[in-house]
Amino acid sequence: MHYIITEKETTAKRIATILSADKAKKRKIGGIDAYEFDGTVVAGLSGHVFRLDYPPPYNNWSKINPYTLIDARIVAVALKKTIVNALKQIANDAESVTIATDYDREGELIGVEALRIIKKINPALLVDRMRYSAITEQAIKESLAARSDVDYNLAASAEARGIIDLIWGAALTRFISLSANRLGEGFFSVGRVQSPTLALVVAREKEIEKFVPRNYWELHATLKTEKGEIFEVIHETQKFWEREEVEGIKSRIEAAEEGCVREVETRLRNEKPPAPFDTTGFIRAASSIGYSPKRAMNIAEHLYLQGLISYHRTDNTTYPDTLDLKVLVKLFLENKEFGDHARLLVQKKRLKPTAGKKRTTDHPPIHPVSAVSRDKMGKAEWSIYELVVRRFLATLSDAAQWEDTDVKIELGGEIFEAKGRELKEEGFLAIYPYQKKEELILPKLKEGENVKIEQIEIVEKETKPPNRISQAGLIKKMEDLGLGTKSTRHEIIGKLYERAYVQDNPVKPTETAFALIESLEKYATMITKPEMTKTLEQEMDEIREGKRKKEDVVADSRAMLKAVFEEMTKNREEIAKSLKEAIKGGTIVGTCPECGSELFVAISHRGKRFVGCRNYPTCTFSLPLPRSGRVLVTTDTCDTHPFLFKLKIMKKGMKRPWDFGCPYCNFLHWEAKSGDT
């Protein structure tokens, strides 16, 4: 029997349907679903077969020195016994096995995990690999016909990352949490990618906090042409830092009733279509239409599994020569949404796509592979699918053409400027509405023409602090610094939210994040810098390329971590003091209604949490809180008690936080309920 093993049951079903012309019969192998036809069985796993962990004796945080975790033995723990049992059955029945998991690091490792079980029982088994970037009939049949060897180096690079992340995360998290006496749900989570990413957020917040705004003034004028057309200009000195200077200029201009056009320069400018989508580009574009990185990637995965778009985890921004772009465009000729533009594209003798700076050979850029209508999908799915289709069509379209106009006008001896832009040819903008195409039309002015001064106005403004980083912007920074991978960056950001280190979007660090990063930056600098993580990522790439062994790279990482521990151990008392001092006030949840001091999440000597007043013991105002779960402070205030922020509670295993709301309202509700009983 020939077995094809996929990463998920949904993929198994779709591949079996394609290869059997919808004649495959469903059957059970152990506890998992499989699909059989013509001597072939397609079976789906549930992602990873194993997880990496330490043996049980190491689970007691209080009794195990975190340093010993660096060199401790790591074991593979089966995630689902039903999967392991099914693979053992396959081993006894199979004559050959084809791995058809997603073709990336994690997918290759998942396939190798399955093979380890199978080949232990049946070592002589014939094994090969299907590689595909889309779950379509053509892609699946071609990948089956062109099977190749399993890439054990690629799997080893993924396994190295898993081992390294476990060692760094477990050892550092325990050291810091034990030092600060923060165990249970309130422990300090530290990691080789997570911590430098959080440091970026904290650094930006510090820039914002230390920013001192400065007033400046602009000088605007409203003018009228001889034909009665009204337009606005601004003084060539964009910012005046002294009020007296701009007022003096304004006075001189007010004495003049007219001005004169001194210079008109018009030129055509081509705006190039965007590059094809890699994962980071896709996430940023999805963010601009309201989808968080995690949500966008989840939807993209669903579309991929349905055979609607290509594989969504890719670093490529250049279409391969083997991709028939015209065939893909023809999919949309009869589509109500995209048909008009598709028909324009197929009329071209040759399609010339844009290309980004990155070219890889594993997967092409994200693109549509099948057509579907809006009414066949949910709103969110359609939004993401439409984004992918429009981006693909845009990359094959002509540049947009603009006419830019720069005008200089003399008013009372001072030069004012105006810049106009008019869209002459829509090009790709006709199909890609996500890119701004705002026009600013100026009157047709001629040099030497007089214009009448209608109004002259001083506009006072203030310099603004740097913006907080959006989730999508943070992913781009992570990519630039070599933090994480295309598959893991959005998950790392998700962990920062889960640990209550950050909130909102754009991302704002909490007091806990400040306390942690400031302490690490003082006493364990390497953990907060991207260089160490980038070095390890490069070494894992060398494993994939066959230049380094997994064991050697893991050994390098252990040596790095020992150097970190040496620094932290010398400063353990300072770290503990720094963290305890920084977090002793807890998270701010509002203002005390009785004395006006800050209210914060406090912990009693018995370990109970409550909302307490900073002015204690002079002020004893307090409110109870749930015993378990992480407290997340929102930016919404209570309508009844506007001095308090609403809270959310994130408990282990919950997909979404519990909307606890206003702690005062909850207390009054509990009090009334208790009184009734």
Buried-exposed string 161-196: b where 16+ CB fall within 10 A, e elsewhere: bbbbbbbbbbbbbbbbbbbbebeeebbbbbbbbbbb
Query: Distance between CA atoms of 280 and 295, rounded to whole angstroms?
Result: 14
Q: What is the mean pLDDT of the chain?
A: 92
Query: Across residues 244-251, what is the average pLDDT?
Result: 95
Res 584: pLDDT? 59
The closest alpha carbon to 107, from 278, 312, 290, 244, belongs to 312
The dihedrals phi and psi of 185, each to the nearest 5 degrees, come to -70, -20
- Positions annotated as catalytic residues are 311
Does the pLDDT value for residue 645 go beyond 90?
A: no
Q: What is the pLDDT of residues 183-235, one digit of tens each?
A: 766 688 899 999 999 999 999 999 999 999 999 999 999 999 999 999 999 99
| Most confident by average pLDDT, 348-362, 457-471, 504-518 | 457-471
Total H helices, total E strands in the chain = 20, 23
Query: Distance between CA atoms of 504 and 499, rounded to whole angstroms?
Result: 13
Distance of alpha carbon 486 from the chain centroid: 9
Res 537: pLDDT? 86
Res 296: pLDDT? 95
Strand, helix or coil at 360? coil
Q: What is the pLDDT of residues 3-37, one digit of tens each?
A: 999 999 999 999 999 999 999 999 999 889 999 99
Residue 254, CB half-sphere, CA atoms under 13 Å: how many?
11
Strand pairing report for 2-6 and 40-44: parallel
Q: Would the pTM of this model clear 0.75, i.e. be above it?
A: yes
Does the pLDDT value for residue 470 go beyond 70?
A: yes
pLDDT tier for residue 629 given thresholds of 50, 70 and 90: confident
Burial class of 91 by CB neighbour count within 10 A (0 to 12, 13 to 18, 19+): buried
Res 617: pLDDT? 86
Partner residues linked to 420 by β-bridges: 405
Cβ(294)–Cβ(474) under 8 Å? no
Q: What is the pLDDT of residues 262-313, one digit of tens each?
A: 999 999 999 999 999 999 999 999 999 999 999 999 999 999 999 999 999 9
DSSP 271-308: EPPPPPB-HHHHHHHHHHTT--HHHHHHHHHHHHHTTS
Q: How far is CA 276 from CA 599, 637, 666, in A?
A: 50, 42, 51
Q: Which residue, chain included where needed, has tokens 């304004």?
A: 250
The domains found in the chain, sorted by start residue, are: 2-150 (3.40.50.140), 159-208+468-580 (1.10.460.10), 215-270+405-422+433-462 (2.70.20.10), 279-395 (1.10.290.10), 585-676 (no CATH)
Type and span of the H or E element at 666 = helix 663-676
Query: Across residues 108-126, what is the average pLDDT?
Result: 96
